[in-house]
Structure 1
Amino acid sequence: MFKLPDLPYAYEALEPTVSADTLHFHHDKHHAAYVNALNGLLPEGDKRPLEAVIREAGPGKVFNNAAQAWNHAFFWDAMTPDKPAPGAELSAAIAEAFGDLAGLKDKFVAEGVGHFGSGWVWLAVEGGALKVLSTHDADDTLTKPGVTPLLVCDLWEHAYYLDYQNNRKGFLEAWFDALPNWSLADRQFAAAKGQGAVWAYPEPA
């Protein structure tokens, strides 16, 4: 069985960008519901890593709940109150792909705002180059061979509606300015080049 990972920070640590109320609701209710539903769908004794479950599931309830469990766990780790800056290698890649960090923000926010309905907006690396992409509903980068996620932001309304109502753009702009975990992005960027392991969901109990 998979467990609901604890948040890597206190519920109030991301305020004022993301409120403690939103994190309690989002993590304790929404994320927990996906994990619990997935555990009820898998065969007893299934010890596959969550990444394998997602890649092998095919369309349907198992994929939806498994991918949403994974996406949310990566999302929590993709945020930090510590405000790190991108490392030198990632900064160079950002400059090459987007001009500078402001250019990346513009692309990231525009992709998220332009995404119709629920989903996720990602900063990822493919073939050594950075790209911004969005995925619908539960879909994620695990379904895209050769793509490694560096950061992600949740576009489902439950991620921001308590704090921003229907202002998705305001949420994305505030999120990008305050919360990206560039230390995680640095590690993922290195892993995409074969230097270390990519982020993974905790192993099933």
Structure 2
Amino acid sequence: MRHLYFLSYYNVEYEHLLLNKISNMSITLMDLPYSEDALEPFISKKTVFFHYHKHHAGYVKNLNNLIKDTELQEKSLEEIILDAYQMPKQKIFNNAAQIWNHNMMWQSLSLPSTSGEPSEQLTELIVRSFGSIESLKEKLHEAAIGHFGSGWVWLVLNKNTSKLEIMTTLNANTPLVFPNLVTLFTIDVWEHAYYIDYQNLRPDYIKSLIENIINWTYINMQFTL
């Protein structure tokens, strides 16, 4: 098994290098903000490897194939998502949105030693919106385990109400398409995000993530943008 895993790693790494060297591809795979084993023991190196090199990289490859030699090739990822959402072009939207969602997800997580704490301003808004930080965590947990099927759980700032909200989206759908929402944090509840480590025990995965590897430093930064 170790030998097969090494071969798989080599092939995906080589494909990833090729993908980023092809000049006519407009969208590239983001670099992970930490090493593949940084989230252990809460998320294993093996899960990060397959999630990043297979799933995330796969969306990048698919999207570049879909937009090749079209006007979308010269646009940013966000512009592609919004254009595909409005047209609509479902295959392009699905792959583009999944790239954006995963970009947000990797940055939403951090090893405990660098995760930080909510800023004073963010803490005040959390208390005003949910009652307490612990209540926010409980509501995130409830939303994540209650979401049926594949999708995402989001912490967003609603600019219309100046309050934080928790929302869920199915499949590739993303809050980016709503101009009144600022995305602060996300949890991936697709099975590939946790099945290697937790099998069918999504509640254990969610609890482990929320209690240990939320990247508050990143959330603070998103909040002040």
TM-score under structure 2 length normalisation: 0.83
* Correspondence for 2:101 among 71, 74, 77: 71
**Which residue in the other structure is 2:40 paired with?**
15
**Which residue in the other structure is 1:184 paired with?**
218
* Correspondence for 1:169 among 203, 206, 219: 203
**Which residue in the other structure is 1:153 paired with?**
187
Distance in 2 (CA, whole Å) between partners of 1:68 and 1:157 is 14
Distance in 1 (CA, whole Å) between partners of 2:39 and 2:103 is 16
Aligned residues: 191
Rg (Cα) greater in structure: 2
Mapping of residues 1-205 of structure 1, within 5 Å:
1-44=26-69, 46-57=73-84, 58-81=88-111, 82-127=114-159, 128-191=162-225
Deviation at 1:59, TM superposition (A): 4.4
Deviation at 1:72, TM superposition (A): 0.5
C-alpha distance after superposition, 1:46-98 (max 9, x if no partner): 22110010011024100000000110011111111112101010011111111
- What SS class does the counterpart of residue 151 from structure 1 fall into? strand
**Which residue in the other structure is 1:197 paired with?**
none
Deviation at 1:145, TM superposition (A): 2.0
Letter in 2 for 1:5: M
Deviation at 1:36, TM superposition (A): 0.1
- What SS class does the counterpart of residue 135 from structure 1 fall into? strand
Greater fraction helix: 2
Letter in 2 for 1:147: L
Percent of residue pairs identical: 40
- Identify which of structures 1 and 2 has the higher relative contact order when contacts are C-alpha pairs closer than 8 Å and 6+ apart: 1
Deviation at 1:100, TM superposition (A): 1.2
C-alpha distance after superposition, 1:146-180 (max 9, x if no partner): 10110001000000000111111111111011111
Instruction: Tell me the C-alpha RMSD between the 2 structures.
Output: 1.0
Preserved contact between residue 115 and residue 217 of structure 2 (Cα < 8 Å): no
Deviation at 1:19, TM superposition (A): 0.3
- What SS class does the counterpart of residue 35 from structure 1 fall into? helix
Distance in 1 (CA, whole Å) between partners of 2:219 and 2:166 is 13
